[in-house]
Amino acid sequence: MKTDIMELKDTLTFINLRLDELRVMLNCIVKLMTYFSQEIENQIYTVDSVIIKREESNK
């Protein structure tokens, strides 16, 4: 039979592993959000550039 201390240790180890998994998932989410925000920013910049060039060419 496991003692209470052993069971507690196993439980804490399990929780720690789950927290590590969550940390990794959150890190991935943050990296994806950063990537997509940069992509969106680049697209906005490109569209703004095209609009400005069109306006200048129409003058």
The token pair at 33 is 């959000």
Give pTM, 2 decimals.
0.66
Burial 28-56 (b: 16+ CB within 10 A, else e): eeeeeeeeeeeeeeeeeeeeeeeeeeeee
- For the chain, which residues make up each domain, given as ranges? 23-59
3-21 pLDDT, tens digit per residue, is: 999 999 999 999 999 999 9
- Lowest average pLDDT, out of 18-22, 36-40, 54-58, goes to 54-58
Percent of the chain with pLDDT over 90: 64
pLDDT band at residue 47 under the 50/70/90 scheme: confident
Ranges of H-type helices in the chain: 4-58
Start-to-end C-alpha separation, the chain: 87
